[in-house]
Structure 1
Amino acid sequence: MPEHSLDNTDFTILDELQKDGKISNAKLASQLAMSESPCWRRLKKLEDEGFIEGYHAKLNRRKVGYGVLSFVTMTCALHDEKTKAEFEALVKQSENIQSCHNTAGNTDFVMQVVARDLDDYSHFVDSVLRKLPGVVSVQSNLSLRELKSSTRLPIK
């Protein structure tokens, strides 16, 4: 639940930042037909309250050398607190794992993993994924073609 109710101006700010995270406060204020100080205060409040978690550049994974994208499902046999903590720490440390979700259904986790090539991916599966504590099953679904990739949320 949001910490405070958002109005249309807040939603517009969030939407504009999703389109262009590098937009200047002056340009954002101009698009909102408001002065810069109130615009900056609203933006700061959205950051402080956690609606905006950060800013980043979206890189083309292929151009920086990551030709393999895989969606990995994992099943674990152990669910005790110690194993869970070890598993989470190792997942957070791995730069190849872009996202990891604890899921309901037939598997315990779904991960998005990148690798330079199939040999690199195979090494990653053997040296990292299969050695995670409590894991009994690892299934890889390699992406053949990416149709859409977005972190953008539908606003309003």
Structure 2
Amino acid sequence: MRKTDQEVALDSVDREMLRLLQDDGTLSSSALGETLSLTVTPCWRRRKRLEDLGVIRGYQANLDRRKLGLRVMAFAQVRFDNHSPGAPEDFERVIGSIPEVLTCHKVTGEADYVLTVLARDLDSYGAFVEEVLRRQAGVVSIQSTLSLREIKADTRIAIPN
């Protein structure tokens, strides 16, 4: 386990703070403290500690992709050959810089990576496959699966006790 992946000890107030912030990341320390029965300063200190420890990685607005014209969600399974030293590392660096890629996971099984990709339409997704994925050294196959209907899309994490 990498040092940055070490589990952080949380008490019940920390866990409740995380639940509240996942629901509304714009809560002020005053509003958060009121809900948690803390004054502003201790509330701010707890929040800052969770941020410094990397438990809270940042704050963002959750956007509706369809209202932004991103109608296609694809899951691309990418497989590499065994003869390209450094190719997976180069692939990870390139993929990490592409905003259309929401997630990239190194996985077990037949594929080496699974990506979640957003595109305006099938033509745009096809161009992404041809102009980005197929041009990566060592890539031997790409299998795409398209989402027909999104059943659940959530960024909230169930916080363990």
Runs of 5+ unmatched residues, structure 2: 1-5
Q: CA RMSD in A?
A: 1.2
Q: For the Cα contact (< 8 Å) 2:84–2:138, is it kept in 1?
A: no
1:42 has 2:46 as partner: yes
1:25 has 2:29 as partner: yes
CA drift at 1:78: 3.6
Write the distance in 2 (CA, Å) between the matches of 1:119 and 1:86: 26
The equivalences for 1:1-156 within 5 A come to 1-3=6-8, 5-78=9-82, 81-155=85-159, 156=161
- Aligned-partner SS, 1:131: coil
TM-score by length of 2: 0.92
TM-score by length of 1: 0.95
Write the distance in 2 (CA, Å) between the matches of 1:127 and 1:12: 45
Write the distance in 2 (CA, Å) between the matches of 1:120 and 1:90: 18
Residue 23 of structure 1 aligns with an amino acid whose one-letter code is: L
Write the distance in 2 (CA, Å) between the matches of 1:14 and 1:79: 45
- Aligned-partner SS, 1:113: strand
Write the distance in 2 (CA, Å) between the matches of 1:84 and 1:135: 9
Change (3 A) 1:81 1:127: same
Number of equivalenced pairs: 155
Change (3 A) 1:44 1:103: same
Change (3 A) 1:80 1:48: farther
Q: For the Cα contact (< 8 Å) 2:119–2:125, is it kept in 1?
A: yes
